């Protein structure tokens, strides 16, 4: 007994795996995409076609068809034999790449791994909806899993990492990896540690904005300039009042250099100065006098002598001793 449904081919559908659309299709030439999709259509109905018929249907030459099949075979999407062409299961291949099955485990390990994987799975699915509108490419699953394993982030920290990069309009792996590495160097693995870091980061950000405004840079500070600000604010513990005093001492400098500002603040840090009052007292004590004041205290050399006075007898003696 056979069960069949009557459906006109004109209104039927050919299923194309999302993995092919998201991960593979963008890198394929257009001829390869045409060949792959039409090949899936033929497979669905178990149709037979010669290479010439195949090429003619797609408006390709025989050589173009062969070139497309070679590329599809290199991508492991098809397998060609002397009897025909087999289209591989791309979903199964991707699953094999993402997951490896452990043959044996203790009951305790099994329970722990299940709970652990469930939390991670929920986290990744949430990220898929939040940052990829539900269509995250499959290779990003592997990438995120590697981030978890490399940096040992909690699920909250991982979501915060992607939220930070998303807000920066920098949802690319290079930038995400750089931020993740920076957080790991600061020993951030849990949400509590992340909150502490974000407080420090926010303070540095506010200082950077005020410094750029005070110096009239009309731009944001560079990454390297931000590193200086981070040192002043968080390592030295200086308030903005102290930093502003250092900024004022750059007035008149033709080439503004953050290294010069850093030298001033580093010297104050080494002197153990902590408050604005201590800095002002230190400057008052060690202030070098301006050149104008130094010049005013000098004795003029052209008038630095006592004028001698001569009487009438002196001039008479000179007159008498003069040879005539």
Question: What is the rounded distance in angstroms from the CA atom of residue 215 to the CA atom of residue 226?
Answer: 14
Give how far Cα 307 sits from Cα of 154, 301, 302, 303, 314, Å.
Answer: 90, 14, 12, 9, 15
Q: For the CA atoms of 191, 194, 198, 204, what is the dihedral angle to 10 degrees?
A: 170
Q: For the CA atoms of 262, 263, 265, 267, what is the dihedral angle to 10 degrees?
A: 160
57-62: long-range contacts at Cβ-Cβ below 8 A with a sequence spacing of 24 or more? 58/31, 58/34, 60/31, 60/34, 60/35
Question: What is the rounded distance in angstroms from the CA atom of residue 171 to the CA atom of residue 143?
Answer: 13
Longest Cα–Cα distance in the chain: 161
Task: Give kind and range of the element (H or E) at residue 85.
Answer: strand 85-87
Give how far Cα 196 sits from Cα of 71, 105, 193, 199, 257, Å.
Answer: 51, 38, 5, 5, 31
DSSP state of 23: I
User: Residue 93: CB partners within 8 Å, gap ≥ 6?
Assistant: 76
Q: Count of CB atoms within 10 A of residue 35's CB? A: 26
pLDDT at 204: 87
Q: Count of CB atoms within 10 A of residue 196's CB? A: 13
Q: What is the mean pLDDT of each run of 10 residues along the chain (324 residues)?
A: 51 81 85 90 84 89 89 85 82 63 49 68 90 87 88 92 89 90 89 87 88 87 86 90 91 78 94 92 77 52 59 60 52
């Amino acid at each position: 007994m056979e069960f069949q449904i009557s459906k006109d081919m004109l209104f039927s559908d050919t299923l194309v795996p999302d993995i092919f659309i998201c991960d593979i299709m963008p890198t394929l030439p257009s001829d390869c995409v045409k060949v792959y999709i039409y090949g899936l259509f033929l497979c669905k109905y178990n149709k037979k076609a010669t290479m010439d018929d195949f090429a003619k249907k797609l408006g390709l030459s025989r050589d173009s068809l062969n070139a497309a099949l070679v590329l599809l075979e290199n991508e492991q999407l098809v397998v060609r034999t002397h009897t025909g062409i087999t289209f591989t299961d791309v979903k199964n291949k991707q699953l094999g790449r993402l997951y490896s099955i452990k043959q044996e485990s203790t009951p305790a390990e099994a329970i722990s791994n299940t709970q652990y994987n469930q939390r991670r799975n929920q986290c990744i699915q949430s990220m898929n909806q939040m940052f990829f509108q539900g269509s995250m490419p499959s290779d990003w699953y592997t990438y995120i899993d590697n981030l978890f394993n490399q940096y040992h982030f909690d699920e909250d920290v991982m979501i915060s990492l992607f939220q930070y990069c998303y807000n920066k309009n920098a949802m690319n792996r290079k930038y995400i990896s750089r931020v993740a590495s920076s957080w790991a160097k600061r020993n951030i693995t849990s949400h509590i540690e992340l909150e502490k870091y974000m407080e420090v980061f926010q303070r540095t950000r506010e200082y950077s904005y005020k410094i750029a405004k005070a110096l009239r840079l009309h731009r944001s500070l560079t990454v390297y300039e931000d590193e200086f600000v981070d040192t002043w604010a968080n390592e030295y513990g200086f308030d903005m009042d102290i930093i502003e005093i250092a900024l004022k001492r750059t007035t008149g400098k033709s080439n503004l250099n953050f290294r010069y500002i850093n030298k001033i603040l580093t010297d104050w840090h080494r002197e153990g100065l902590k408050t604005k009052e201590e800095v002002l007292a230190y400057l008052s004590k060690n202030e070098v006098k301006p050149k104008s004041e130094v010049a005013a205290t000098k004795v003029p050399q052209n008038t630095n002598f006592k004028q001698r006075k001569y009487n009438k007898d002196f001039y008479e003696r000179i007159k008498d001793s003069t040879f005539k």
